[in-house]
Amino acid sequence: MPEAFGLTDRGLVRPVNQDAFLIDPPLGLYLVADGMGGAKAGERASALALETVAAHFRDADGEVRLDEAYRAAHEEVRKQAAGDFRCAGMGTTLVGIHDSPDGVDLASAGDSRAYLWSGGQLEALTRDQSWVEEVGRRIGLAEDVLRKHPFRHVITMAIGVDTALEVRVKRLQPAPGSRLLLCSDGLHGCVAEESIAGILKSERSLESCAHQLVEASKQAGAPDNVTVVLVDF
């Protein structure tokens, strides 16, 4: 069973924290969600998505796939949003892994990310479902333009939104000694990958690394909630 540690912070600008994370070793689940919606709707969406995914595995009679659990969360968030006008339009990103004897499955929806630090290299395991990734880069906009573009925070997929859900899945084979990072855009939107790699390559504990990553976001202004989950294999 891998070692894990998670940390979430509302950052320096947002009045509430709509991020959430789940670490459940008995279920083999490690997840990060970044909620969206007015009032406390985003906070509710992220918590509900995590609860639904965990319940889907906990209550299963047979084999369960991570993407199936994401789809169950999608339907549950949509149902609650439709039943309460205060939650209309709420949704959440979701990224995480399911660690089982058969292997490690990764699934993502939205722009929360997964990285793997292994063999002295940082590898991005997910690709954002966002305007920047799916439109901006495809039409050739320069990176400095994308960093300031008014659509830079627009995502094209999320749990609970009123569209067909596209979940991106991948089977991982993490080598012994590798370290997985799950994070909301409050980290990767503020802190360069070179800086993230510099923190992950240290010999510090997971808890120390998590606090350093959050502090790096704060040093960059932390305009959004920031959440990290670290998993050592």
Return the structure tokens found at 70: 């994401």
Burial 187-207 (b: 16+ CB within 10 A, else e): bbbbbeeebbbebbeeeeebe
Question: Looking at residue 86, what is its pLDDT?
Answer: 86
**What is the domain range of residue 12?**
3-232
The model's pTM is 0.93
pLDDT of residue 143: 62
Q: The CATH number of the domain where 167 resides is what?
A: 3.60.40.10
What pLDDT does 152 receive? 62
Q: Can you give the pLDDT at residue 162?
A: 76
pLDDT (0 to 100) of residue 131: 58
pLDDT of residue 61: 81
Question: From CA 108, how far away is CA 168, in angstroms rounded?
Answer: 5
The number of distinct structural domains making up the chain is: 1
Mean pLDDT, consecutive 10-residue stretches, the chain (233 aa), reads 95 96 97 88 96 95 91 96 87 97 95 96 91 61 60 80 90 95 96 96 91 97 96 96
